[in-house]
């Protein structure tokens, strides 16, 4: 066995795509090796902005010999009426390099097909790789891949070189005019010359000698060490930011941490404003003291030698100063007007061409917030209406126009500056929460209500204009917002029907009651898809989730309650018998329209017993008495054993079916028992 090295050299790849690209590349290559019966050892991933690299410690010198069975066309196509092979059969045999007489008939799920079993001798691994790698590389489904210039292939960025080394041997192939070799390239500025890689084991050391640290973990460790040294030197605390560390790790090939500073006057800005300028726009690390106050120092990760630190520092400080000056200008200018006066400007900003302006959206959110407040029995609704009116006002301020990441936060700052109630100000910031699974939730009722209203308005609005997520596409983040609504309702213990909430959100948009009902149904199905994933992650069985979500109830708290009850019932040793009884009811009613029950027509003893049992169980069914459902087993089975449901008299038949419908309704108080799988 010998090591194998694959390096794809490109123009700078965006940092956020590097790990994803490596994972896709490794999955494709390891999948090919496995499918091709080529034994291989551990795979190591390396990358810089200019290269994606896989190094496999051990790759077998040849494929294993294999016995492969191939299935061809159906028998009736492979042979004519006289049993003679057709062109389909001879062509299949030729493709396998065997005589047509060696073909066999195989029985499959789809019928009889011709097949052949062939002994394949393993080919040399380098030959296999030379044939497969061009196909693997050019067929990768990479994020943001595209064609470049006259290139005929799609990739992150234009490819400039490819190394493919098996031991000390180049695996020869060509992609878009680029031939494989054993030549890589060092740091673009510090060591731009070509580098010969004699064997895969030399890869990391040769690049390191040319100012390229190809190991991402090593680069990150160097950055973290530099950060720690700066903290010790200045006695400051660098804001912990794992995402930023990963980003800068994949922005450089030769990291050096440089400490810079800015003028104290910028510390008077709202704290998150300079932090955002540093983090999001410059990829700098901000610092604070032990009390959490921002300090006038920052850290930049450069892509050059330590002896260039002074030049890097001066340049970084100059760029940051200009950005902070812009931020200060916008902030000062924004404060000239109270936040409420920005609301009118929302009329000039389109929310979506078919959905009106941001002002129109604000009106819908305010109305829906008022509705939710009434459902939550919140009496102090003045703050809720005020906050919902102001929630989007900061979107037309200078700071948020320049730094969109600060929406909500700057609204809170400007609201406080204008003398708004603290609860109103906090709600403006927190109505965007949660922004992702596991994020913080709004801290009080005001923010919670506006968050629910804003998210549901987005979902209802885009369903109304038929901009619904499809496949992996979700440009308006509706899945994330639906998950956010579920998180709020589950974690906060709020009882609110999603059906009612969606229907109310649609009222300002759609005048037709029928269309609102249809859209509401689609929205609830969309929510159920999100909720199903959440409940599965919590450990609930798929069939129990399906049973509960099949009911008409759309209150998240009610779903949780019934799911817990069903899960508890399922653990009982007598549950299988109850389930059998329940399914007897569901099966006979599968195609029955709703019928009206006439109690006076229940003359049989078994009928009366089942009727009384259904009434008693319905009255007693609760969290503390959910075991009462087990009382159904005997009367249901007795009813089916003693009573002919499908009586010749249609009135008697319909009344007995109506009785069973009443029994089914009791079962449905927990869930659709027909969805539950028998163990």
Phi/psi at 62 (5° precision): -150, 160
Residue 345 is classified by DSSP as G
30 three-state secondary structure: helix
Is 158 contained in some domain?
yes
The residues facing 654 across adjacent strands are: none
Average pLDDT score over the chain: 93
Q: What is the pLDDT of residue 150?
A: 64
657 pLDDT above the threshold of 60: yes
Report the b/e string of 263-278 with b at 16+ CB within 10 A: eeebeebbebbbbbbb
Q: In which residue are the tokens 């406080």 written?
A: 416
372 three-state secondary structure: helix
Percent over 90 (pLDDT), the chain: 81
Q: How far is it, in rounded angstroms, from Cα 422 to Cα 380?
A: 14
CB 551, CB 675: distance < 8 Å: no
Residue closest to 283 by CA, chosen among 235, 250, 236, 330:
250
Q: What is the pLDDT of residue 605?
A: 94
Residue 408, H or E segment: none
Q: How far is it, in rounded angstroms, from Cα 247 to Cα 474?
A: 24
Is 637 contained in some domain?
yes
Whether 514 and 594 map to the same domain: the answer is: no
Q: In which residue are the tokens 């003045």 written?
A: 382
Q: What is the pLDDT of residue 612?
A: 93
Q: How far is it, in rounded angstroms, from Cα 626 to Cα 630?
A: 9
Residue closest to 462 by CA, chosen among 509, 504, 407, 507:
509
Whether 93 and 6 map to the same domain: the answer is: no
Q: How far is it, in rounded angstroms, from Cα 65 to Cα 647?
A: 69
* Window from 15-19, 131-135, 252-256, 470-474 with minimum mean pLDDT: 470-474
Whether 535 and 408 map to the same domain: the answer is: yes
Q: In which residue are the tokens 């789809």 written?
A: 110
Whether 35 and 182 map to the same domain: the answer is: yes
CB 488, CB 445: distance < 8 Å: no
Is 454 contained in some domain?
yes
Give the pair of three-digit tokens for residue 321.
């100063």
CB 209, CB 254: distance < 8 Å: no
Is 266 contained in some domain?
yes
Task: Give the domain-ending residue among 334, 355, 374.
Answer: 334
Is 544 contained in some domain?
no
Residue closest to 340 by CA, chosen among 451, 444, 421:
421
Split at pLDDT 50, 70, 90, the class of 139 is confident
Is 549 contained in some domain?
no
Q: How far is it, in rounded angstroms, from Cα 564 to Cα 622?
A: 12
CB 57, CB 3: distance < 8 Å: yes
Give the pair of three-digit tokens for residue 200.
């895969």
497 pLDDT above the threshold of 60: yes
Segment 181-213, tens digit of pLDDT = 999 999 999 999 999 999 999 999 999 999 999
Split at pLDDT 50, 70, 90, the class of 118 is confident
Split at pLDDT 50, 70, 90, the class of 147 is low
Give the pair of three-digit tokens for residue 139.
């067929």
428 pLDDT above the threshold of 80: yes
Report the b/e string of 623-651 with b at 16+ CB within 10 A: eeebebbbebbebbbbbbeebeeeeeeee
The residues facing 183 across adjacent strands are: 196
Residue 150, H or E segment: none
Segment 17-58, tens digit of pLDDT = 999 999 999 999 999 999 999 999 999 999 999 999 999 999
Q: What is the pLDDT of residue 265?
A: 97
In a 13 Å sphere around the CA of 471, the CA atoms on its Cβ side amount to 2
* Window from 127-136, 303-312, 509-518, 564-573 with minimum mean pLDDT: 564-573
Q: How far is it, in rounded angstroms, from Cα 103 to Cα 362?
A: 71
Is 496 contained in some domain?
yes
Most confident of 22-26, 411-415, 550-554: 411-415
For the chain, how long is the longest CA-to-CA vector? 100
Is 557 contained in some domain?
no
Q: How far is it, in rounded angstroms, from Cα 152 to Cα 48?
A: 24
Task: Give the domain-ending residue among 284, 319, 334.
Answer: 334
623 pLDDT above the threshold of 60: no
216 pLDDT above the threshold of 60: yes
Q: What is the pLDDT of residue 142?
A: 74
Q: What is the torsion angle, in degrees rounded to the nearest 10, for the CA atoms of residue 504, residue 434, residue 16 and residue 251?
A: 140
In terms of Cβ atoms closer than 10 Å to its own Cβ (0-12, 13-18, 19+), residue 484 is buried
Task: Give the domain-ending residue among 281, 316, 334.
Answer: 334
Each as own residue / partner, the long-range contacts of residues 629-633 (CB below 8 Å, 24 or more positions apart, any chain) are 629/569, 629/578, 629/666, 629/667, 629/670, 630/572, 630/574, 630/578, 632/578, 632/581, 632/582, 632/663, 632/666, 632/667, 633/574, 633/577, 633/578, 633/581
* CATH number of the structural domain spanning residue 609: 1.10.730.10
366 pLDDT above the threshold of 90: yes
In terms of Cβ atoms closer than 10 Å to its own Cβ (0-12, 13-18, 19+), residue 154 is middle
The count of domains in the chain is 5
Q: Quick one: three-class SS letters along 282-341?
A: HCCEEEECCCCCEEEEEEEEECCCHHHHHHHHHHHHHHHHHHHHHHHHHHHHHCCCCCHH
Whether 279 and 320 map to the same domain: the answer is: yes
CB 358, CB 351: distance < 8 Å: yes
Segment 312-339, tens digit of pLDDT = 999 999 999 999 999 999 999 999 999 9
Mean pLDDT of 663-677: 92
Whether 489 and 520 map to the same domain: the answer is: yes
Structural domain boundaries enclosing 303:
217-334
Segment 245-297, tens digit of pLDDT = 999 999 999 999 999 999 999 999 999 999 999 999 999 999 999 999 999 99
- Check whether the bond before 462 is cis (ω within 30° of 0): no
Whether 172 and 224 map to the same domain: the answer is: no
Phi/psi at 85 (5° precision): -65, 140
- Ramachandran quadrant class, 111 (left: phi over 0; alpha: psi -120 to 50; beta: rest): left
Give the pair of three-digit tokens for residue 190.
């510090």
- Which of the two residues, 152 and 511, has the higher pLDDT score? 511
Q: What is the pLDDT of residue 148?
A: 65
In a 13 Å sphere around the CA of 659, the CA atoms on its Cβ side amount to 29
Q: What is the pLDDT of residue 230?
A: 93
Phi/psi at 166 (5° precision): -110, 105
Give the pair of three-digit tokens for residue 172.
């020869």
Give the pair of three-digit tokens for residue 46.
């390396």
Helices 498-506, 445-464: crossing angle, 10 deg rounding: 60
CB 410, CB 394: distance < 8 Å: yes
Residue closest to 527 by CA, chosen among 483, 465, 583, 467:
483
CA angle 138, 142, 145 (to 5 degrees): 80
Secondary structure of the chain: what % helix, strand, coil (to 5)? 55, 15, 30
Whether 47 and 177 map to the same domain: the answer is: yes
Q: How far is it, in rounded angstroms, from Cα 128 to Cα 166?
A: 12
Whether 355 and 497 map to the same domain: the answer is: yes
Taking the alpha carbons at both ends of the chain, their separation in whole angstroms is 48
635 three-state secondary structure: helix
CB 258, CB 238: distance < 8 Å: no
CB 169, CB 155: distance < 8 Å: no
Q: What is the pLDDT of residue 381?
A: 77
Mean pLDDT of 414-439: 95
Whether 203 and 222 map to the same domain: the answer is: no
Whether 380 and 493 map to the same domain: the answer is: yes
Q: What is the pLDDT of residue 524?
A: 95
Whether 228 and 133 map to the same domain: the answer is: no
Residue closest to 9 by CA, chosen among 154, 164, 151, 145:
164
* CATH number of the structural domain spanning residue 418: 1.10.3210
């Amino acid at each position: 066995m010998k090591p194998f090295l694959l390096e794809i050299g490109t123009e700078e790849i965006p940092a956020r795509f590097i790990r994803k690209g490596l994972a896709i590349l490794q999955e494709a290559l390891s999948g090919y090796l496995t499918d091709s019966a080529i034994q291989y050892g551990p795979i190591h991933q390396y990358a810089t902005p200019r290269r994606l690299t896989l190094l496999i410690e051990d790759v077998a010198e040849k494929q294993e010999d294999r016995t492969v069975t191939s299935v061809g066309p159906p028998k009736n196509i492979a042979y004519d009426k006289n049993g003679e092979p057709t062109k389909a059969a001879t062509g299949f045999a030729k493709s396998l390099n065997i005589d047509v007489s060696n073909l066999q008939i195989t029985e499959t799920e789809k019928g009889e097909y011709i097949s052949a079993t062939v002994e394949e001798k393993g080919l040399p691994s380098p030959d296999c790789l030379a044939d497969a790698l061009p196909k693997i590389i050019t067929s990768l489904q990479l994020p943001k891949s595209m064609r470049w210039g006259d290139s005929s292939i799609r990739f992150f960025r234009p490819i400039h070189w490819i190394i493919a080394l098996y031991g000390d041997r180049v695996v020869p192939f060509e992609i878009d005019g680029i031939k494989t070799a054993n030549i890589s390239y060092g740091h673009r500025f510090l060591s731009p010359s070509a580098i010969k890689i004699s064997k895969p084991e030399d890869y990391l050391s040769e690049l390191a000698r040319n100012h390229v640290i190809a190991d991402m973990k090593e680069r990150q460790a160097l950055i973290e060490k530099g950060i720690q040294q700066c903290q010790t030197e200045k006695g400051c605390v660098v804001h912990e930011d794992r995402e930023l560390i990963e980003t800068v790790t994949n922005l450089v090939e030769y990291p050096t941490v440089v400490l810079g500073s800015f003028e104290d006057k910028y510390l008077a800005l709202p704290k998150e404003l300079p932090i955002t300028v540093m983090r999001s726009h410059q990829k700098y690390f901000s610092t604070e003291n032990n009390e959490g106050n921002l300090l006038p120092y920052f850290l930049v990760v450069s892509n050059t030698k330590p002896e260039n630190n002074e030049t890097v520092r001066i340049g970084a400080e100059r760029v940051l100063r200009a950005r902070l000056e812009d931020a200060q200008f916008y902030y000062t200018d924004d404060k000239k007007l109270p936040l409420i006066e920005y609301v009118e400007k929302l009329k000039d900003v389109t929310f979506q061409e078919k959905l009106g302006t941001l002002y129109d959206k604000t009106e819908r959110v305010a109305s829906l917030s008022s509705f939710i407040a009434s459902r939550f029995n919140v009496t102090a609704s003045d703050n809720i209406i005020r906050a919902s009116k102001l929630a989007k006002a900061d979107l037309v301020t200078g700071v948020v126009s320049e730094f969109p990441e600060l929406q909500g936060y700057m609204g809170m700052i400007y609201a406080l500056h204008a003398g708004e109630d603290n609860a109103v100000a906090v709600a403006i910031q927190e109505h965007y929460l949660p922004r992702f699974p596991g994020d913080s939730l709004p801290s009080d009722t005001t923010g919670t209500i506006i968050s629910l209203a804003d998210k549901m308005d987005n979902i209802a609005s885009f369903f109304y204009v038929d901009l619904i997520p499809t496949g992996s596409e979700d440009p308006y983040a509706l899945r994330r917002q639906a998950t956010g609504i579920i998180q709020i309702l589950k974690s906060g213990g709020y009882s609110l029907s999603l059906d009612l909430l969606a229907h109310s959100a649609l009222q300002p948009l759609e005048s037709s009651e029928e269309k609102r009902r249809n859209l509401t149904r689609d929205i609830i199905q969309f929510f159920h898809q999100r909720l199903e994933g959440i409940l599965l992650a919590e450990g609930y069985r798929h069939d129990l989730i399906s049973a509960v979500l099949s009911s008409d109830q759309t209150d998240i708290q009610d779903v949780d309650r019934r799911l817990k009850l069903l899960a508890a019932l399922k653990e009982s040793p007598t549950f299988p018998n109850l389930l059998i009884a329940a399914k007897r009811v569901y099966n006979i009613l599968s195609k029955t329209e709703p019928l009206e029950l006439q109690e006076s027509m229940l003359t049989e003893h078994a009928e009366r017993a089942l009727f009384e049992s259904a009434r008693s169980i319905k009255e007693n069914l609760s969290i503390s008495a959910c075991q009462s459902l087990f009382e159904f087993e005997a009367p249901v089975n007795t009813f089916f054993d003693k009573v002919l449901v499908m009586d010749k008299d249609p009135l008697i038949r319909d009344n007995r079916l109506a009785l069973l419908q009443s029994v089914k309704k009791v079962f449905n108080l927990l869930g659709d028992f027909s969805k539950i799988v028998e163990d």
